[in-house]
Amino acid sequence: MSSHHHRILVLHGPNLNLLGRREPEVYGTMTLAELNREIERFAASKRVKVRIYQSNHEGKLIDLINEHVDWAEGIVINPAALTHYSYALRDAVAAVGIPTVEVHLSDIERREPFRRRSVIKQVCVGQIHGKGLQSYLRGIELLLGEEEG
Ligand code: DQA
């Protein structure tokens, strides 16, 4: 990413709209609105412009990735359950060629076996899981670090 214009697309997948009330013992009590506010605050402190979207629909997430091909210099995506099986989402990430970080609130390595597999990870510059809000913030940092190296 160029040092003059950091533009990062942040995407939340299915059921993340329910954060706060959804399995709080796994995902915490922070709502999506609160999470997004923290992401925006952090981004502003790093002089990064963010656009944040949530969708329960695979096709909508793919459309958003496609539509931001000329805007986004990086993508932070929590594909939620789509992580584990969506080749269409994986292909969208590969197609646009925008550096992408996959993030998860929970530790997907230590839950049900089906969550250990990600079909998205291989087309991403990294995967960060198990750190709640910090997974997203470190995802942004990872993208910023990509250009400095
Ligand atoms: C999740 C982990 C996924 O396995 C799950 O389907 C989600 C949320 C996480 O952020 O921990 O919906 O992506």
pLDDT tens sequence across 39-58: 999 999 999 999 999 999 99
- Which residues are identified as catalytic? 27, 104
Residue 26: CB within 6 Å of ligand 1? no
- Mean pLDDT across the chain: 95
Compute the distance between CA of residue 75 and CA of residue 143 in angstroms, rounded to an integer. Answer: 8
pLDDT tens sequence across 98-117: 999 999 999 999 999 999 99
Q: What are the residues whose beta carbons fall under 8 Å from the beta carbon of 34, sequence distance 6 or more?
A: 20
Q: Is residue 77 domain-resident?
A: yes
Average pLDDT, integer, range 1-8: 69
Q: Is residue 73 domain-resident?
A: yes
H or E element at residue 100:
strand 100-103
pLDDT of residue 86: 98
Residue 81: CB within 6 Å of ligand 1? yes
Residue 99 C-alpha to ligand 1 middle, in angstroms?
21
Residue 88: CB within 6 Å of ligand 1? no
Q: Is residue 2 domain-resident?
A: no
Compute the distance between CA of residue 114 and CA of residue 29 in angstroms, rounded to an integer. Answer: 24
Q: Which CATH number fits the domain that encloses residue 128?
A: 3.40.50.9100
H or E element at residue 123:
none
How many domains would you assign to the chain? 1
